[in-house]
């Protein structure tokens, strides 16, 4: 009876986690509901499975990730408390506080002893949901679900990367077909969102990964050939795939207009917003001026006529996570944010001795691609993106825990029989 109940719990948690990325941006309020549900279940796991949760804390690397997360959130809170907690800054802190639930959710998965392969296969559910959503949606406009098309595309991109391990570890034709369809669904959702920043982020991520791999194995000619192939694929895609072609054409038009001093377009507005973020950061380079500093800077420029009233609608964030973090929390907060994104990657590479398995590779690629997305949009002020990053953080911690326990995730060569 206990064994059956345990399997039901594993199955239920895996389904919720696997379906989360798609449901969070397709069904209104689903993201927050599922996130709090998992967090509550995690708190119960902490109380019920005391021994297992204590074992989950074993491993210096997992503790380091927890410390960095708490340090980032604590500094943000103290920083804003010093500069005054108005309604706007409080709302930013409340959103970032969602990351705290990554701790009990991690313990929930660890207590149930859910294997990595189970979690990564579960993400195929989101891939299928994206595929269905793509089929029933009108393609006259960009896919956006219940969020902005950029966030929709970026989350679909991360889901696509998380669907990849299921393809690699599946030996049976049925499971592999299921995984490929799920991957395709996420890819279609990503492409038809028209997220230019996402495409740039994914390209930069692949180039970064290939460069690291070529440096590691001293295969420089293969790196050059692969980059050439990627460039050709990108060129052919933007010329022949309609949503990409439209966004590529729009980009060229906006660049030409910006060169002529016309900034009333997506690229031009971003350039103006980034300038305002840098101006607001000048007040305090070390610890920042609070999350309301950028907003006050933009509204002040609109008030004195330097910026048009159009920019009132862009006063909440400057469409750049690095500049927004720098303006709000200064160099200290920005450094903590870099630790938050890159500590999992460094620890995984160190623990794996620069030989990450397929699960860890996809975790690393997902975190890097999400970070690059932050060049053109803010990340840590959007609930669903924060929660997706939280899942990546959890997956990284689970990977480190697995290696600390001396067991390795299953890879194709180790599978005893077809799945």
- Judge contact between 170 and 419, C-beta under 8 A: yes
Measure Cα distances from 186 to 134, 153, 160, 171, 191 in Å.
9, 9, 5, 21, 9
Predicted TM-score (pTM) of the model is 0.92
Q: Which residues contact 208 (CB under 8 A, 6 or more apart)?
A: 368
In whole angstroms, what is the distance from residue 359 CA to residue 373 CA? Answer: 21
Q: What is the pLDDT at residue 406?
A: 60
Question: What is the pLDDT averaged over residues 373-387?
Answer: 95
- Judge contact between 159 and 260, C-beta under 8 A: no
**What spatial distance separates the first Cα and last Cα of the chain, rounded to whole Å?**
25
Structure tokens at 156: 């679909």
pLDDT in tens, 73-100: 999 999 999 988 889 999 999 999 999 9
In whole angstroms, what is the distance from residue 35 CA to residue 337 CA? Answer: 22
pLDDT in tens, 191-243: 999 999 999 999 999 998 888 888 877 777 878 888 888 888 888 888 888 88
């Amino acid at each position: 009876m206990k064994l059956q109940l345990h399997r039901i719990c594993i199955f239920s948690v895996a389904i919720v986690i696997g379906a989360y990325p798609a449901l969070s941006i397709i069904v209104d309020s689903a993201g927050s509901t599922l996130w709090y549900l998992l967090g509550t279940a995690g708190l119960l796991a902490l109380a019920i499975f005391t021994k297992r949760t204590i074992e989950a804390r074993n491993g210096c690397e997992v503790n380091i990730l927890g410390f960095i997360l708490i340090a980032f959130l604590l500094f943000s809170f103290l920083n804003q408390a010093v500069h005054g907690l108005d309604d706007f800054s409080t709302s930013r802190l409340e959103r970032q506080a969602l990351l705290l639930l990554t701790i009990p959710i991690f313990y929930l998965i660890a207590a149930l002893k859910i294997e990595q392969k189970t979690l990564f296969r579960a993400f195929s559910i989101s891939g299928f949901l994206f595929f269905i959503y793509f089929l029933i949606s009108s393609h006259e406009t960009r896919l956006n679900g219940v969020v902005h098309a950029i966030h929709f595309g970026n989350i679909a991109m991360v889901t696509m990367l998380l669907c990849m391990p299921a393809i690699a570890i599946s030996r049976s034709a049925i499971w592999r077909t299921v995984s490929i369809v799920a991957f395709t669904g996420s890819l279609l959702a990503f492409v038809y969102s028209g997220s230019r920043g996402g495409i740039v982020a994914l390209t930069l991520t692949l180039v970064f990964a290939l460069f690291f791999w070529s440096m590691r194995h001293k295969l420089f000619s293969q790196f050059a050939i692969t980059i050439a192939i990627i460039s050709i694929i990108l060129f052919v895609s933007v010329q022949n795939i309609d949503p990409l072609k439209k966004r590529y054409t729009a980009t060229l038009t906006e660049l030409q207009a910006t060169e002529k001093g016309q900034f009333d377009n997506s690229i031009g507005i971003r350039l103006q917003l980034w300038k305002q973020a840098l101006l607001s950061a000048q007040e305090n380079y070390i610890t920042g001026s609070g999350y309301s500093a950028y907003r006050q800077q933009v509204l002040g420029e609109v008030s004195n006529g330097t910026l048009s009233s159009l920019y009132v609608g862009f006063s909440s964030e400057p469409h750049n996570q690095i500049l927004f973090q720098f303006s709000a929390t200064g160099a200290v907060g920005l450094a903590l944010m870099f630790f938050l994104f890159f500590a999992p990657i460094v620890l995984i590479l160190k623990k794996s001795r620069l030989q990450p398995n397929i699960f860890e590779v996809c975790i690393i690629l997902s975190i890097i691609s999400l970070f690059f997305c932050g060049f053109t949009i803010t990340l840590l002020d959007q609930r669903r993106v924060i929660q997706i990053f939280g899942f990546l953080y959890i997956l990284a911690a689970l990977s480190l825990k697995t290696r600390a326990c001396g067991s390795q995730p299953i890879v194709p060569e180790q599978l005893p029989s077809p799945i």
